[in-house]
Amino acid sequence: MSTRIFGSGIRRREDPRLITGSATYTDDLTLPRMVHAAMLRSPHAHARITAIDTSKAAAAPGVIAVYTHADTEGGLQPAPCAWLLPDSDLKIASYHCLAKDVVRFAGDIVAVVVAESRYQAEDALELIDVGYEPLPAVTDPEAAAAEGAPKLHDEIDGNQAFHWKVAGGDVDAAFAGADVVVKDRIVQQRLIPNAMEPRAALASFVGATGELTVWNTTQNPHIVRFLTSLVLGLSEDKIRVIAPEVGGGFGSKIAAYPADFLTMFCSRKLNRPVKWTETRSENYQSTTHGRDHVQHVELAAKNDGTVLGLRCTVHAGMGAYLSTAAPGIPTILHGLMLSGVYTLPAVHEDVYGVYTNGVPVEAYRGAGRPEATFMLERMMDVLAARLDMDPADVRRKNMIPKFDDGHEVVTTLKYDSGDYPGALDKVLSHADYAGLRAKQKAGPANGTYTGLGLATYVEICGLGPSQVAGAIGFQGGLWESAIVRFHPSGKVHVFIGASPHGQGEETTFAQIVGSELGVDPQDVKVFHGDTDNTPMGWGTYGSRTTAVGGAALALTARKIRDKAKVIAAHLLEAAVEDMDYEDGKFFVKGAPDQSKTIGDIALMANVAWNMPEGVEAGLEASTFYDPPNFTFPFGAHLAVVEVDAETGAVALKRYVALDDCGPQINPVIVEGQVHGGVVQGVGQALWEEAVYDEGGQLVTGSMLDYALPRADLLPDIEVLSTVTPSPHHPLGVKGIGEAGTIASTAAVYNAVMDALRPLGVTSVRMPLTPERVWQAIQDARQAKG
Amino acid sequence: MYAPDFAYYRADSVAEIGRLLRAHPGAKVLAGGHSLIPLLKLRLAAPPALIDIGRVAELKGIAVADGRVRIGALTTHAEIAASSDVARHAPALAAAAGVIGDPAVRNRGTIGGNVAHADPASDLPTVLLALGASFAVATDDGERTIPAGKFFQGMMATALGDHDVVTAIDVPAAPGGQGQAYEKFSHPASRYAVIGVAATVELRGETVGNVAVALGGLVPAAVRTGSVEQALSGRAPSAEAIAGAAAAVSNDLGDDLIGDIYASAEYRRAMAPVCVKRALTAALKQASVADAPAARSPWWKPSWL
Ligand SMILES: Cc1cc2nc3c(=O)[nH]c(=O)nc-3n(C[C@H](O)[C@H](O)[C@H](O)COP(=O)(O)OP(=O)(O)OC[C@H]3O[C@@H](n4cnc5c(N)ncnc54)[C@H](O)[C@@H]3O)c2cc1C
C-alpha cells in the first residue's frame, strides 16, 4: 500500500464548493411549475382536535391546496419505525403524517398548505382555524413512566414504548460481596442536533410516468426510498431519492419524517413539484432531538478499586412517537457498551423507553454510546473520590489489557482490538498529569478552582454484520457497496451506497482508490446519494461509512487490480503468476523497467483491441461488503477546567483528545472530526439543553436560548492518536465520526466535579451553567453548616 | 422564518424619514435590522411599512468636538469598537460595543437601533447611561435633545414618539484621570447581557471622586445605582471599600428583577454585587493610570477623514 496517498493530509476536495457557496442543497433547487408547502404545527404539547376549518386558508391568495388528516386517509401510511427491538415488549404508536384527532407534541403537524409562494403558504397557515381541547402533558421521561401520568396513546399503558434488558455475570453477588457501592442519578438532558442545513424536501411526481423523484436532505437515501414505497404505496422502482449537498445531520437526518412524506403526497396529489424547507424554529420543534435519559447507576467495587459490577435503570424519553431508528439507540447502542474499556464481571441494566409529549428522540452524534460512556466514566470518578484514589489509577486498575485480535466482554460483544492502558498513559504523559495534579494541590487562586477530568472510552462503530442487524430487529441490512469504474483515460468514477454529508469521504475514498491502484486521488470522483445511479447502501451514520463502505471500496479496488494484472500479463506476454505490482505499475517480477500502468490497462480494457482469452472488456468491479464484526475505536480524553466559585462560571482551559481509529487515511480529516465531535460533547456538558416547560412548550425555541458551542469559549484541542488496526477490516480502519462526542461530555463534567470537590459538591445537573454550579456551591456550604 | 407582508420605502435624508413616517402610520424605520427583522420573521411584529434609513449619510460617522464625542445613529457597533476617538474619550463605550453579539451583529447593528429598541439586555443603554450621554432626536417639529436618564423608560420603552428618529448620540469625553469599564456577563446563546455594569470613577488624591455606575440586564430598563455611587465616593479605593460599595447595589434593584431559564432573578440578584465589584475594580485600575487631560480635538472630524 502506498503510504504517499494513504495517510496524507491532503485538502478536502469538498471544501472549495462549500466555502464559495457553489454547493447545491435541496433548497437551492427550483423546478418548472414548482409550488411550496408549509406545515401547520400544533401549538399544544397535547390536545384533542375538536374541529379544523381550512376554508379561509383555501381561499387565500396563491393557495392551491390545504390538506388535513382526512385527506390523507388511504394515500399515506404513518411514518414507520424501522428498528423493531426484540424481547422488549415494543409498542409502536402510529405516527400519522398529519395528526389524527390528537396532537402529542408542540410541533405535531395538523395541516399542510400548498401555495404558489412560501410566503403565501405561511400567510394561509394563519387562516386555518383549529379547535383544540388541551390535555395534560408530560415531557420528563421518569415522570411520564410514573403512575397517574398523562397518557399519550390510548392503547399503550404507562407510556411504555419498550422495556429492554441487558444482563451478564452475577450482578447480585457482585453487589453482595462489594466493599463499596457508589451511586448517582444522572440526567442526560435532551439535546437539539442543529445541523447547519435545516431539513428540506423537493418532491416531483410526474403523473404521466407514475414516477416520483425526491431531493431530500438525508443521511440515507436508499432507506428513504424504501420507506417512501411503504408510506405512499408506490412501487420502489418508481421512486428516485437524491440527497444533494447535505449540510450535516448528526443523526437528525436518519429518520424519514412526516413532513417529507407530506411533501411527496402533495406533489402526487397535485401532479406538480412541491418544495418544503423547514425554518430553524420548525427544526427545533420537529426535527429529532437526542439523549434525554434519566439514569440511576450503582457501581460495586472492592476497597482496592477493583470494580465488581454495574447496575442501572434508565428511563429514556422517546418523545411522542418512535422515530425511524429510535428504539435501538438507548438499548443496543447504549446497554451493550456498558463494560467500556474495563474488565467488568457483572452488569444489569433495565432500559424503559417512554413516550413523552416532546419531539421524537433519535440518534444524535454518538447515539447511545455517550450516554453509556458518561455513566461508566462518571462512576469511575465517584469511586475514585470515595476511595481517595487518583481517577487515573482506578481506571488503570480495571482496564482490559492490550489485545489485538478479539476480546469478549460481559455484554457479549467481541471487541476487535485495543490498547486502552497505552492510550491513557500517552494522554497523561503528554499533558503532564502529575504536574497538573501537583499544581492543583496548591489550592485555589483568587477563588478559581482547577479541575482535571478524564474519560476513557471504547465505542461500537462500523454497523455492522447484517446477521446481527436482523437479530437485533433492525429492519434492514448493514452491509455497504461500491462500484469502481475506470474510463479509457484512466480516470475513475466510484459509486457508493453510503451517503456522506460533510465528513469528507469524497476525499478519503479517492485516497483509498488512489493508494490501492496507484492513481492520483484527483483523478477519482466519488458519486453518492442518488438511488438511481449508485448501488444500494444503508447510509451514513454510526461512524460506518469508512468502516463498512471503505472496506467495500478497498476490496473492489483489489478486484480491479487482479483483473488488471491478468491483462498486463497478457500484454507483456508473461504468465499471471510471474507478475508483480507496485505503485500503479504491473511488471514481470525482476523486470520493473518494462511495465504497464493502471492507465495503460484501463485504456486497453476499454477499447478491448487485445484482451486475454475469456476476459471481459471494461475495467470495472463492484463489491457488497458485509462486515464480520463491528469495529471498536477507543481513546482517552483529558479536560482541564477552571471554576470561578464566586459566579459558578466554568472555563475550559485545556482539552487533550487521544483517539485510536486504526490507520488514518487522512489525518487532517480525522483531526477535523475529532474537533467537531469534542465540541459537541462539550456543548452537552456546559451549554446545551432543550428545555420544555410544564405545559410542554419548548422554551429554548431558537438559538437565542439554546446555547451552541462557540469558538471563543473553547481552547485549542490537542489531538493525539495511537494506531491499533482492526484485525478484520481490509484497511484496518475503525471510524472516527463520533469518537470526540462520546468522551468529551464525561471528561468535562468530571473535570468540573473535580474542581468542586474541595467545596463539597458531588453532583450538578447538566448543562453546567453558572447558576447551577453556583447554587450547588451554596447548597454544599449550607450543608456543611 | 417568513415575515408578514409589508411595504418598503427608502429614505435618503432625515427630512424624508420624517415625511415617510407621517405618510405611513404604524411604519417602522429599519436600520441594521438586527432587532427588527427577527421580530418580523417570528411574526411578533407586523408593521404595514418599513422605512429603510440605511443610506442616510448624515446619520453616519463619529466626531469629537466641544468636549464630547458625537456618534451618528447609523454608526455600527463595529465602527464604534474600532474608533480611536471612542477608545480615547469613551473607553467603556468602545469596550461595550466590542462585546455585542458576534462579528455579524456588530457589523450590521447600529447604535441608534440599539438604543431605540431598548432591550433590557442590551449593552449600549447601560454604558450610555453611566457616561451621561444624550440623544439628538429629529421630531415632527424640529430637533430635541433627550438625556440618557430620561430616554430609557422601561422594557423596550423609550421617550421616542411615533415619528421620532434618533439622529446622533452625544457622549461627554472622559475627564482627565477618569477610569471607565464595562463588565459583561454574557448569555452563552444570545450573547446579550445577563448582567452588564458600566462604571466611571475619578480619583481625588487618595480618595475616590465622582462615581457613576449603571446596570443592565437586571431590571426592565437600564438604571444608575446611586447607592453604590454614594457608598464609594469619598472613600479610599481599597478592595474592602469596593466590595462594600458594590454590595449596596441590592438597595437599588427593587422587586422587578429579570429572570429566565438561564439565570433566575435570585441568581442575578446574587451576581449583581459581584459584577459591580468587578466593574469598579477595572475602572479604578484605569483611573490610576489615565491621568492625562482630555484631548482637545478639532471641530467635527468625521472618523472616515
Ligand atoms: C444574534 C444577535 C445578538 C445580539 N447581541 C447583542 C448584544 O450582545 N448586545 C446588544 O446590545 N445588542 C445585541 N443585539 C442587538 C443588536 O445590537 C441590534 O443591532 C440592535 O439592538 C438594533 O440595532 P439595529 O440597527 O439592528 O436596529 P433595527 O433592528 O433596524 O431596529 C430596531 C428598532 O429600532 C428602531 N430604530 C432603528 N434606528 C432608529 C433610529 N435611528 N431612530 C429611531 N428608531 C430607530 C426600529 O424602528 C426598530 O424598532 C444582538 C442581535 C442579534 C441578532
Residue nearest atom 21 of ligand 1, based on CA coordinates: B114
* Stretch B60-66: mean pLDDT: 96
Maximum CA pair distance of chain A?
A: 93
Cα–Cα nearest to B142, from B269, B282, B15: B15
Per-residue pLDDT band for A607 (boundaries 50, 70, 90) equals very high
Residue B297: predicted pLDDT = 46
Say yes or no for a CB contact (<8 Å) between A775 and B261: no
A448 — contact with chain B (CB < 8 Å)?
A: no
Atom of ligand 1 nearest to the CA of B73: 41
pLDDT at B303: 47
Burial A604-637, CB ≥16 within 10 A → b, else e:
bbbeeeebeeeeeeebbbebbbbbebbbbbbbbb
Is B237 among the domain residues?
Answer: yes
CATH code of the domain containing B46? 3.30.43.10
Chain segment B85-101, per-residue pLDDT in tens: 999 999 999 999 999 99
Residues of A in contact with B262 (CB under 8 A): 705, 707, 769, 771
User: Cα–Cα distances in Å, from A282 out to A42, A243, A319, A688, B42?
Assistant: 11, 20, 16, 18, 11
CB within 8 Å of chain B, chain A residues 661-690:
686-687
For residues B156 and B202, state if they share a domain. no
DSSP per-residue letters across A66-102: EEEHHHHTTT-PPPPP-B--TTS---PPP--SS--SE
Query: Domain check: are B165 and B215 in the same one?
Result: no
Burial state string for B214-244 with b = 16 or more CB within 10 A and e = fewer than 16 = bbbbbbbbbbbbebbbebbbebebeeebbeb
Q: Which structural domains are found in chain A, ordered by start?
A: 3-20+479-625 (3.30.365.10), 31-135+196-248+253-286 (3.90.1170.50), 386-462+630-784 (3.30.365.10)
Domain count, chain B: 3
Q: Are A571 and A604 in contact (CB under 8 A)?
A: yes
- Both B188 and B287 in one domain: the answer is yes
Measured between CA atoms, the residue of chain B closest to residue A122 is B2
| Residue A765: band (very low, low, confident or very high) from pLDDT cuts 50, 70, 90 | very high
Q: What is the pLDDT of residue A784?
A: 87
User: B304 pLDDT exceeds 50?
Assistant: no
For residue A585, how many other CB atoms are within 10 A of its CB? 15
Residue B130 pLDDT class (50, 70, 90 cuts): very high
Above 70 in pLDDT, residue A379? yes
pLDDT tens readout for residues A507-543: 999 999 999 999 999 999 999 999 999 999 999 998 8
Q: Does B117 sit in the ligand 1 pocket, CB within 6 Å?
A: yes
Contact B29 CB / ligand 1 (< 6 Å): yes
Our CA angle for A114, A116, A122, nearest 5°, is: 60
Give mean pLDDT, residues A443-460.
96
Please provide the DSSP assignment of A142-153 as one string.
HHHHSTTPPPSS
Are residues B118 and B156 both part of a single domain?
yes
Assess if residue B134 is contained within a domain. yes
Q: Cell numbers at residue A410, please?
A: 460481559
By C-alpha distance, the chain B residue nearest A774 is: B267
Cell numbers placing A494: 466510484
How many whole angstroms separate alpha carbon B156 and alpha carbon B160? 11
Same domain flag for B22 and B87:
no
Percent of chain A with pLDDT over 90: 98
Contact (CB<8Å) A281/B42: yes
Same domain, B92 and B25: no
Q: Are A130 and A55 in contact (CB under 8 A)?
A: no
Residues B156 and B130 placed together within one structural domain of the fold: yes
Confidence of residue A4 (pLDDT cuts 50, 70, 90): confident
Q: What is the pLDDT of residue A3?
A: 47
Q: Looking at residue A507, what is its pLDDT?
A: 97
- Residue B198 sits in the same domain as residue B219: yes
Q: What are A259-299's pLDDT values in tens digits?
A: 999 999 999 999 999 999 999 999 999 999 999 999 999 99
For residues A24-39, average pLDDT? 98
Residue in this structure with the C-alpha cell 384533542, named with its chain if needed: A48
Judge whether residue B298 has pLDDT over 90: no
User: Residue A773 — pLDDT band, cuts 50, 70, 90?
Assistant: very high
Tell whether A775 lies on the interface with B, counting CB pairs under 8 A: yes
Q: Would you say A253 and A217 are in contact if contact means Cβ atoms under 8 Å apart?
A: yes
Nearest CA in chain B to A646: B274
Other CB atoms within a 10 A radius of the CB of residue A590 amount to: 7
Is residue B9 within 8 A of residue B22, CB to CB? The reply is: no
Rounded mean pLDDT of chain B?
93
B156–chain A nearest CA distance, Å: 17
Judge contact between A738 and A365, C-beta under 8 A. Answer: yes
Across the range A649-660, mean pLDDT stands at 98
Q: Which atom of ligand 1 is nearest to the CA of B76?
A: 25
Q: pLDDT (tens digit, 9 = 90+) per residue, B101-122?
A: 999 999 999 999 999 999 999 9
A309/A346 Cα distance (integer angstroms)? 5
ipTM exceeding cut-off 0.90 for this assembly: yes
The DSSP-derived string for A256-321 is --HHHHHHHHHHHHHTS-EEEE--HHHHHHHS-BEEEEEEEEEEEE-TTS-EEEEEEEEEEEEESS
pLDDT digits (tens, 9 = 90+) for B210-243: 999 999 999 999 999 999 999 999 999 999 999 9
Confidence of residue B288 (pLDDT cuts 50, 70, 90): low
Task: Return d(Cα A26, Cα A767) in angstroms, integer.
Answer: 34
Question: Which residues, 6 or more positions from A230, have their beta carbon under 8 angstroms from its beta carbon?
Answer: A77, A80
Answer whether residue A1 shows pLDDT above 50: no
What are A399's strand-pairing partners? A342
Banded model confidence at residue B292, pLDDT cuts 50, 70, 90: very low
A549 and A508 Cβ atoms separated by less than 8 Å: no
Which DSSP letter does residue A354 get?
E
Q: Domain boundary residue among B172, B187, B207?
A: B172
C-alpha closest to that of A510 among A665, A404, A640: A665
Of B119, B153, B172, the residue that ends a domain is B172
B37 alpha carbon – ligand 1 mean position (Å): 9
Mean pLDDT score, A592-598: 95
Same domain as B166, residue B109: yes
Q: Which domain holds residue B263?
A: 178-291
Would B209 be classed as within a structural domain? yes
**Section A239-257 average pLDDT:** 97
Q: CA quadruple A755, A756, A762, A768: dihedral positive or negative?
A: negative
In a domain, B301, yes or no: no
Same domain, B112 and B198: no
- pLDDT tens digits, residue range A170-188? 999 999 999 999 999 999 9
pTM higher than 0.90, yes or no?
Answer: yes
Task: Tell me the pLDDT of chain A averaged across its residues.
Answer: 97
**B146, B172, B198 — which closes off a domain?**
B172
Ligand 1 atom index nearest CA of B37: 29
Residue contact A119–B5, C-beta within 8 A? yes
- Quote the CA–CA distance of B104 and B191 in Å, as a whole number: 12
pLDDT of A315-349, one tens digit each?
Answer: 999 999 999 999 999 999 999 999 999 999 999 99
Are the beta carbons of A774 and B4 separated by less than 8 Å? no
Tens-place pLDDT, residues A682-698 = 999 999 999 999 999 99
**Is B289 a residue whose pLDDT tops 50?**
no
Asked if residue B20 is part of any domain, the answer here is yes
Dist. CA A515–CA A561, nearest whole Å: 11
One domain, residues B230 and B136: no
Atom of ligand 1 nearest to the CA of B122: 11
**How far apart are the CA of A284 and the nearest CA of chain B, in angstroms?**
12
Claim to verify: residue B124 and residue B143 sit in the same structural domain: yes
CATH of residue B203 = 3.30.390.50
Distance from CA of B2 to the nearest CA of A (A): 6
> Does ligand 1 come within 6 angstroms of the Cβ of B63?
no
CATH number, domain at B109?
A: 3.30.465.10
Distant-in-sequence, close-in-space partners of B41: CB < 8 Å, separation ≥ 6 = B1, B2, B3
pLDDT of A248: 96
Is B91's C-beta closer than 6 angstroms to any atom of ligand 1? no
pLDDT at A367: 96
The answer to whether the CB atoms of A122 and B2 lie below 8 A apart is yes
- In the reported structure, the alpha carbon of residue B156 is separated from the centroid of ligand 1 by a whole-number distance in angstroms of 11
pLDDT at A163: 98
Is residue B301 predicted with pLDDT exceeding 80?
A: no
